[in-house]
Structure 1
Amino acid sequence: MTSTSRREITDQQWADTALLWDYQQMGHELRPCDVAIGLGSHDLGVAAETARLYLRGLVQRIVFTGGPNPSRPDAFPRGEAVHFAEHAVALGVPESAILREPNARNTGQNIEFSRKVLAEAGVRLSSVLLVSMPYMERRAYATCRQVWPEVDVVCTSSAMDLHDYAKSIGDDRLVIDSLVGDLQRVIEYPKLGFAVAQDVPGSVHDAYQRLIDDGFTSRLLP
């Protein structure tokens, strides 16, 4: 995939992207939870952040969930859950603290299948710490409220600003496309029964539409 230089993105486009970025952050206060679920993605930073939270003592168990990644198949040839778990172990998390869910292909399955894995392992819980990519917190929250409404959910991600995150991924256009795609899912998925509805401020919706008009559309639903 060809890297897109920040010089090719206009100031207005970055400003619009920042509105989407800020909206997607839930701003939940971190607190101890029974289990962390590291949601599979193309971003290995999710595994690192989940490991960091475990090592801080905020959770006692971790589930890494996700099958093959369509965006970076070469980076995770054995699936997201497997590679994320290996990365967490390399960072100091004991194998005994990790469960793997290697089949999920979307966020709803991430949560639904993780719930089943935890039940099969006999893990009793009332609270979950969902760890996602920074621009995916709100969609993860809305999905969890739909799929697992009885659990108390806290959402978090790596503490990075938009430009640092884009630099870490190495492809500005992919990051912006992904933000646009995630907001579309926040808007559309409640209509399909995949997530609970979220209020989208007019300024955020306007920024989203401008980015679509500017061609940031590769992650939109068909």
Structure 2
Amino acid sequence: MGHPPGNTLTAEQRNDALLLWHYQQMRHTLRPCTVAIGLGTHDLGVAAEAANLYLRGFAPRIVFTGGPNTSRPDAFPRGEATHFAEHAVALGVPESAILRELNARNTGENITFSRDLLTDAGVQVRSVLLVSTPYMERRAYATCRKVWPAVGIVCASARTDLHKYLEAVGDHRLVINSMVGDVQRVIQYPKRGFAEPQPVPEEVRDALQRLITAGFDQRLVA
């Protein structure tokens, strides 16, 4: 079965994507947290990693958060959180350990609505295990630091490399467009009050601009 059109990348584009990929990963040491939050996205791998961490004892409960997915709506017709929760249950997580947040449409809402859901459920949260795609860890961290500063944060994602991830998802342009959009948000969102500032090396900024110039601009914010 062939890849979607547009999956051919130049060597420079792959190298630039790799810079963004490594920049986003926080490389936190895993430790037990009050709750894991699986952030909605186009990739069921987030649900699989959240389930893996639950089964290894890193969190006693999981919140899956996310409404409709705009990138792959056909893949998640009932919303991200619903499909993620079902996938985790299929992997061995008991339904009783899962909370579903069905309305969030962006990362700020993912975290804010999850916080409110946990408060309503009477869960006193001291620390959160933020589970995201590998190329979104830093943005998730910066957002959580802004909207939920009282909790300790551990970022986690599936341990894989960029090549394997691109092949697993299949749509290379979707992934790199998403990566570009996430790094741009790391830079832009602190100015809008949506996230805590993060250091951004010049080589990352340069790689970001080259990818935008090359046409990977589908997920940019104005």
TM-score range, shorter chain: over 0.9
Which residue number corresponds to residue 48 of structure 2? 48
Q: CA deviation at 1:4?
A: 4.0
Q: Aligned pair 1:184/2:184, yes or no?
A: yes
Which residue number corresponds to residue 196 of structure 1? 196
In structure 2, the residue corresponding to 1:154 is in which secondary structure? strand
Write the distance in 1 (CA, Å) between the matches of 2:154 and 2:123. Answer: 18
Which residue number corresponds to residue 113 of structure 1? 113
Say if 1:129 and 1:156, in contact at 8 Å, map to a contact too.
yes
Q: Aligned pair 1:25/2:25, yes or no?
A: yes
For structure 2, the residue ranges without an aligned partner over 5 or more in a row are none
1:16-43, CA deviations, whole angstroms, 9 ceiling, x for partnerless residues? 1100000000010111111000001110
Write the distance in 2 (CA, Å) between the matches of 1:215 and 1:68. Answer: 25
Q: Which amino acid aligns with 1:33?
A: C
Say if 1:107 and 1:140, in contact at 8 Å, map to a contact too.
yes
Which residue number corresponds to residue 166 of structure 1? 166
1:26-83, CA deviations, whole angstroms, 9 ceiling, x for partnerless residues? 0101111110000011100000000000000110011000001011111111111111
Say if 1:4 and 1:172, in contact at 8 Å, map to a contact too.
no
Which residue number corresponds to residue 217 of structure 2? 217
TM-score by length of 1: 0.97
For structure 1, the residue ranges without an aligned partner over 5 or more in a row are none
Q: Which amino acid aligns with 1:97?
A: A
Write the distance in 2 (CA, Å) between the matches of 1:167 and 1:55. Answer: 26
Structure 1 segments, 4+ long, off by >6 Å, are none
Q: How many residues align?
A: 220
In structure 1, the residue corresponding to 2:194 is in which secondary structure? coil
Q: CA deviation at 1:5?
A: 5.8
Write the distance in 1 (CA, Å) between the matches of 2:41 and 2:176. Answer: 15
Write the distance in 2 (CA, Å) between the matches of 1:42 and 1:71. Answer: 6
Write the distance in 2 (CA, Å) between the matches of 1:121 and 1:37. Answer: 15
Write the distance in 2 (CA, Å) between the matches of 1:4 and 1:27. Answer: 33
In structure 2, the residue corresponding to 1:87 is in which secondary structure? helix
Write the distance in 2 (CA, Å) between the matches of 1:66 and 1:47. Answer: 12
TM-score by length of 2: 0.97
Query: In angstroms, what is the RMSD of aligned CA positions?
Result: 1.0
In structure 1, the residue corresponding to 2:75 is in which secondary structure? coil
1:166-195, CA deviations, whole angstroms, 9 ceiling, x for partnerless residues? 111101111111111111000000000000
Q: CA deviation at 1:124?
A: 1.1
Which residue number corresponds to residue 3 of structure 1? 4
